């Protein structure tokens, strides 16, 4: 017999954290594994369009409403020559791709990816190579993409069939340059100098762009967070964001700790914010540095399989994590964590989008399906637009092997004034007990409950396949509105989306 836990929460439309930047629901496509070849692009597939893009994948991506997609890497970008991926396909070279030990055919490059991004209604976040290359290649790529015409690189784009500039706004100054695994790995001092000089040249080419400086690859790096401090000493006035990367996995099969990893993510974000603000104070700057959490997800299931891959093959299955139900719960919690910092986290990219640690999976020449993590990502992307509200939560807590004082309730609310909607996202972390949420919403007295979506499964290890969606949401939740409070039973280890809207007059 299970007990029922009780938690209280207050949501008020005046408790605003910030307007949510829609780019917080971004994603990532790297030339890695089957993300591009066999994922977004498979010209021989029966559902391929005239450009070779899989129409079934396009439709699934559109269901997620992804506003921005980072490209083309990732580790791959630190050895990438962007010129290899433009112009006539027959003339494009095949290259050894050193980051993932494969062969890159360059069938897809900058222009094709821009075409695909338009099909899924997304902007492109372009990453530049600051590993083997630098200022010259970066300014040339930017000129190729964004300059209207009348110069060598912009006219070359026109020769390649793209008369109008791509107008790519957001650019990453390299990738994970603190990591020894990175081609062209640098110290913070080396990176900071190169990044600021590259940023300067790029903004001379196009002053309208926004730039993301590399932060630490993860919180366990020995240079964290001094890397950020040193990097920002150089780039603070030139860059607009600093990046964060973090992946989690239930490696010890300790679900109680696993579902608390969002607390670690929260601490990571707070550490970077304080580091940014320290440099702001030190430089006596009036500018506030915002954050781009441009790699985040669960990643550990495929680690052993990836060790077996034959080197120098073309688009082998790599990083193909098959996600289970508990992974979806943590993904929901990670999304809520970023929303709680919506005043500073302005962009984020779930890494990645198709086949490679992804919410969408495909079979070559076959079907496509939604992984378990697809659903919380979709819910927050669709209903988490508007103003993030600071929740006041009183919840019972638990201790795990890795964490103490973990609230059973993890929750955030987002108010969309344009649609006159309020959405409460709520996770019950308890592995044994249901939880009754009592949420005071008196400042929304003219609202009523639209629906209560629930993602639940008795089996924490349940997975989805092409044939069976074992983990899928339903809207049979039993949230009710009583005397200015939402009262909602949250089943054990469940993800909940409680939507309220303006009453019909």
What per-residue confidence (pLDDT) applies to 504? Answer: 80
Helix (H) or strand (E) holding 57: helix 55-64
| Tokens representing residue 364 in the block | 């070559």
Catalytic, out of 295, 320, 421, 456: 295
What are the CA-CA distances from residue 195 to residues 89, 169, 279 (Å)? 32, 17, 17
Whether the CB-CB separation of 175 and 153 falls below 8 Å is answered with no
Which residues in the chain come in under a pLDDT of 50?
none
176 is catalytic: yes
295 is catalytic: yes
Catalytic, out of 30, 176, 228, 421: 176
Q: Cα separation of 433 and 411, whole Å? A: 17
What per-residue confidence (pLDDT) applies to 505? Answer: 54
Whether the CB-CB separation of 444 and 469 falls below 8 Å is answered with no
pLDDT digits (tens, 9 = 90+) for 128-157: 999 999 999 999 999 999 999 999 999 999
Q: Is the pTM of this model over 0.95?
A: yes
Q: Cα separation of 62 and 122, whole Å? A: 9
Q: What is the 3-state secondary structure (H, E, C) of 468-498?
A: CECCCCECCCCCEEECCEEEEEECCCEEEEE
Of the options 3.30.565.10, 2.70.70.10, 2.60.40.1180, 3.40.50.300, the CATH number for the domain spanning 4-13+389-502: 2.60.40.1180
Domain boundaries, the chain: 4-13+389-502, 21-383
Q: Cα separation of 501 and 416, whole Å? A: 9
pLDDT digits (tens, 9 = 90+) for 301-326: 999 999 999 999 999 999 999 999 99
Residue 135: Cβ-neighbour burial (10 angstroms; 0-12, 13-18, 19+)? middle
Same fold, 4-13+389-502 and 21-383: no
What per-residue confidence (pLDDT) applies to 2? Answer: 59
CATH architecture of 21-383: Alpha-Beta Barrel (3.20)
Q: Cα separation of 155 and 138, whole Å? A: 17
């Amino acid at each position: 017999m299970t007990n029922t836990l009780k938690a209280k929460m207050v949501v008020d439309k005046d408790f605003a954290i910030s307007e949510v930047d829609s780019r917080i629901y971004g994603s990532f496509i790297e030339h890695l594994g089957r993300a591009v070849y066999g994922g977004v692009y498979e010209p021989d597939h029966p559902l391929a369009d005239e450009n070779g893009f899989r129409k079934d994948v396009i439709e699934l991506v559109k269901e997620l409403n992804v506003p921005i997609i980072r490209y083309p890497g990732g580790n791959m970008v630190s050895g990438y020559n962007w010129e290899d991926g433009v112009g006539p396909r027959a003339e494009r070279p095949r290259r050894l791709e050193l980051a993932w030990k494969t062969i890159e055919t360059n069938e897809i490059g900058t222009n094709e990816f821009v075409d695909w991004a338009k099909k899924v209604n997304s902007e492109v976040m372009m990453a530049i190579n600051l590993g083997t290359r630098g200022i010259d290649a970066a300014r040339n790529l930017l000129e190729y993409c964004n300059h209207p015409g009348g110069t060598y690189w912009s006219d070359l784009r026109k020769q390649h069939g793209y008369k109008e500039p791509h107008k790519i706004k957001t650019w990453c100054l390299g990738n994970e340059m603190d990591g020894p695994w990175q081609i062209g790995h640098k110290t913070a001092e080396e990176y900071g100098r190169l990044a600021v000089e590259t940023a300067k040249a790029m903004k001379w080419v196009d002053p309208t762009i926004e730039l993301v400086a590399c932060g630490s690859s993860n919180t366990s790096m020995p240079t964290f967070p001094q890397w950020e401090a040193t990097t920002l000493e150089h780039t603070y006035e030139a860059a607009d964001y600093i990046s964060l990367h973090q992946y989690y996995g239930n490696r010890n099969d300790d679900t109680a700790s696993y579902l608390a990893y969002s607390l670690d993510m929260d601490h990571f974000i707070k550490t970077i914010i304080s580091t940014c603000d320290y440099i702001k104070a030190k430089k006596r700057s009036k500018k506030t540095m915002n954050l781009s959490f441009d790699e985040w997800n669960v990643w550990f299931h495929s680690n052993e399989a990836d060790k077996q891959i034959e080197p120098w093959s073309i688009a082998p299955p790599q990083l193909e994590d098959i996600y289970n139900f508990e992974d979806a719960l943590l993904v929901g919690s990670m999304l809520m964590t970023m929303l709680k910092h919506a005043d500073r986290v302005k962009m984020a990219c779930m890494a990645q989008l198709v086949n490679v640690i992804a919410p969408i999976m495909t079979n070559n020449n076959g079907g496509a399906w939604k992984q378990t993590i697809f659903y919380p990502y979709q819910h927050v992307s669709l209903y988490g637009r508007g103003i993030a509200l600071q929740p006041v939560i009183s919840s019972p807590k638990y201790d795990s092997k890795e964490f103490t004082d973990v609230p059973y309730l993890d929750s955030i609310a987002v108010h969309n004034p344009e649609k006159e909607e309020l959405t409460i996202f709520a996770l019950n972390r308890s592995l044994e007990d249901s939880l009754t949420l009592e949420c005071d919403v008196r400042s929304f007295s003219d609202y009523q409950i639209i629906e209560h979506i629930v993602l639940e499964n008795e089996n924490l290890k349940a997975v989805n396949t092409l044939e069976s969606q074992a983990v899928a949401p339903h809207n049979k939740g039993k949230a009710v509105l009583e005397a200015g409070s939402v009262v909602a039973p949250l089943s054990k280890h469940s993800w909940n989306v409680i939507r309220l809207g303006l009453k019909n007059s």
